[in-house]
């Protein structure tokens, strides 16, 4: 049994988390890490993310479901539906990211839930909005990246579009859904009534392209969709990845002050004093030469040495790190952003800590994610619900 921590800004809230894979579970994770009681409701076979890696449980299941409890229900059975209704009656928040129409098909749509528990806030995350022309299209991160243009602005000018390697539209969706639910809870404080909050991955991803769309609007005719690791519109240089002895570093001179500071870090006062290099457009026009000077400096040093020199000189830049390096980051552990938690089969898993810091609430370490259905009997007994007999269906 996993008990919710007894502190945190959301202590006292009860959340029913029907989330699957990334979007819903990440939204529920925010509630759990902030101290709410989060009950993850899974089909008897578990959230599909658990099994996606074949024989072993996917570590992502553990990373996104810490500090939650697990109840398994076959929502397609009368007993499962009745138990879910009792859970929703007892809750402040219900989260779901099933495919469109699933909750209604199960007889668990907003009208039904709200009629029974008018204080409930229901949050639904979908790929496309319910009133979108694309509402019937199956949506996952990859097609959403295609449709929103995120893919078209990623990659090199002479290469094809490429997806952002992270399932970024799922996580953008999950955290927008969290924000929307919190706004509805705020309003409930005044009205006493809950609300139905909906977000679409298409919409939140579109909004995250605001800087790209602005660049396009400034120069629609000459707009190069993809800029690789450089800047699409601004006439600035250097702005790219540069080789280090042990990998690559990102260096950006967004303005002329950055260039002055970079030349200092490079030990090249001659470049700083050259009036023909003082302005971004001039450096941009001589980009191969400028990049060559920077490369001459970076290629003889390690990424750490370059990063330290850039930081001292107030030039934006950082090492390009692999996931292997990120996963073993000691600083993330020291700051409570990664917790190494034990898993029955996987050994330890690096589990995310709450990414918000609150001065009024101590950081609370996550509790390992529950095994499938670990809390079913206890939680249903507390609701005076019989344990549903038929727990066979794995999906709805």
Report, as residue numbers or ranges, the catalytic residues: 170
3-state secondary structure 94-116: EEECCCCCHHHHCCCCHHHHHHH
Nearest CB to a copy of itself, comparing residues 133 and 288? 133
- Cα separations (Å) of 357 from 37, 155, 185? 19, 34, 21
Considering only 77-85, 221-229, 293-301, 377-385, which stretch makes contact with a copy of itself by CB under 8 A?
221-229
The DSSP secondary-structure symbol of 367 reads: P
Under the criterion CB under 8 A, does residue 369 sit at the interface with a copy of itself? Answer: no
Nearer to a copy of itself, 13 or 83 (CB): 13
Cβ burial of 172 (10 Å; 0-12, 13-18, 19+) is: buried
Region of 69-77, 342-350, 367-375, 386-394 interacting with a copy of itself (CB under 8 A): 342-350
Distance CA 233, CA 15 (A): 45
Q: Is residue 105 part of the contact set for a copy of itself (CB under 8 A)? A: no
* In the complex, least distance from residue 151 CB atom to a copy of itself, rounded to whole angstroms: 6
- Characterise 248 by phi-psi region: left (phi > 0), alpha (psi -120 to 50), beta (else): beta
- Choose, by CB under 8 A, the member of 86, 254, 279, 282 that binds a copy of itself: 254
Residue 123 corresponds to which tokens in the numbers above? 């949050």
Give least dist CB 231 to a copy of itself, A. 9
Size of the site for a copy of itself (CB under 8 A): 143
The tokens for 6 are 């007894």
- What is the number of residues in the chain? 396
CB 59 within 8 A of CB 31: no
d(CA 352, CA 340): 9
Q: How far is the CB of 159 from a copy of itself (least distance, A)?
A: 7
- Grouping H, G, I as helix, E, B as strand and the rest as coil, residue 252 is strand
Note whether 381 binds a copy of itself by CB under 8 A: no
Q: How far apart are CA 312 and CA 64, in angstroms?
A: 36
- Minimum distance, C-beta of residue 41 to a copy of itself, in the bound complex (Å): 21
Which tokens sit at 385? Answer: 């619900």
216 binds a copy of itself (CB under 8 A): yes
In the complex, what is the shortest distance from the CB of residue 241 to a copy of itself, in angstroms, rounded to a whole number?
7
Which part of the chain contacts a copy of itself (CB under 8 A), choosing from 75-83, 194-202, 262-270, 371-379? 194-202
By beta-carbon proximity to a copy of itself, the closer residue of 331 and 384 is 331
Q: What is the spatial distance between Cα 118 and Cα 215, in angstroms, rounded to a whole number? A: 45
Instruction: Give residues 27-56 in contact with a copy of itself (rule: CB under 8 A).
Output: 30, 34, 52-53, 56
Question: Is residue 193 at the binding interface for a copy of itself, with CB under 8 A as the rule?
Answer: yes
Residue in 3, 183, 377, 381 binding a copy of itself, rule: CB under 8 A: 183
Tokens 């072993």 locate to 56
Interface map 139-178 toward a copy of itself (x if CB under 8 A): xx-xxxxxxxxxxxxxxx--xxxxxxxxxx-xxx--xxxx
**Token digits of residue 31:** 């509630």
Q: Which stretch binds a copy of itself (CB under 8 A): 83-91, 189-197, 267-275, 378-386?
A: 189-197
Return the closest-CA partner of residue 376 out of 46, 109, 26, 96: 46
Residue list 255-294, contact with a copy of itself (CB under 8 A) = none
Q: What is the DSSP string of 253-316?
A: --SHHHHHHHHHHHT-HHHHH-GGGSSHHHHHHTHHHHHHHHHHHHTTS-HHHHHHHHHHTT--
- Residue 200 contacts a copy of itself per CB under 8 A: yes
Interacting span for a copy of itself (CB under 8 A) from 72-80, 125-133, 263-271, 373-381: 125-133
Peptide bond into 242 cis (omega under 30): no
State which residue, 177 or 277, has the beta carbon closest to a copy of itself: 177
Site string for a copy of itself, 64-103 (x = CB under 8 A): x---------------------------------------
Q: Is 226 in the site for a copy of itself (CB under 8 A)?
A: yes
């Amino acid at each position: 049994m996993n008990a919710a921590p007894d502190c945190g800004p959301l202590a006292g809230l009860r959340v029913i988390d029907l989330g699957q894979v990334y979007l819903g579970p990440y939204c529920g994770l925010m509630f759990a890490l902030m101290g709410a009681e989060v009950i993850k409701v899974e089909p008897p076979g578990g959230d599909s993310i658990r099994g996606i890696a074949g024989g072993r449980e996917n570590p992502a299941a553990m990373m996104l479901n810490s500090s939650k409890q697990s109840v398994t229900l076959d929502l397609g059975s009368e007993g499962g539906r009745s138990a879910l209704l009792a859970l929703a009656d007892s809750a402040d928040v219900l989260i779901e990211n099933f495919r469109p129409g699933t909750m209604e098909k199960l007889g668990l749509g907003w009208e039904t839930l709200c009629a029974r528990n008018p204080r409930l806030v229901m949050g639904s995350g979908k790929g496309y909005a319910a009133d979108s022309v694309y509402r019937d299209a199956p949506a996952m991160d990859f097609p959403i990246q295609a449709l929103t243009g995120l893919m078209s602005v990623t990659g090199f000018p002479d290469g094809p579009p490429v997806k952002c390697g992270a399932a970024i539209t799922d996580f953008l969706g999950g955290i927008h859904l969290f924000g929307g639910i919190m706004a509805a809870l705020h309003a409930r404080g005044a009205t006493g009534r809950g609300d139905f909050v909906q977000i679409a991955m298409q919409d939140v991803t579109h909004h995250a392209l605001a800087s790209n769309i602005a660049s396009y609007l400034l120069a629609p005719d000459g707009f190069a969709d993809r800029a690789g690791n450089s800047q699409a519109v601004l006439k600035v240089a250097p702005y790219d990845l540069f080789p280090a002895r042990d990998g690559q570093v990102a260096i950006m001179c967004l303005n002329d002050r950055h260039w002055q500071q970079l030349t200092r870090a490079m030990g090249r006062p001659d470049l700083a004093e050259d009036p023909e290099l003082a302005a971004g457009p001039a450096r941009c026009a001589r980009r191969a030469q400028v990049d060559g000077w920077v490369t001459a400096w970076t290629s003889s040093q390690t990424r750490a040495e370059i990063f330290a020199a850039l930081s001292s000189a107030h030039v934006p830049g950082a090492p390009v790190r692999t996931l292997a390096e990120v996963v073993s980051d000691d600083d993330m552990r020291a700051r409570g952003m990664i917790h190494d938690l034990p898993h029955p089969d996987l050994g330890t898993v690096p589990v995310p800590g709450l990414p918000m810091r609150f001065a009024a609430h101590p950081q609370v370490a996550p509790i390992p994610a529950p095994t499938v259905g670990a809390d079913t009997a206890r939680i249903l007994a507390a609701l005076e619900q019989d344990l549903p007999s038929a727990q066979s269906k794995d999906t709805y």
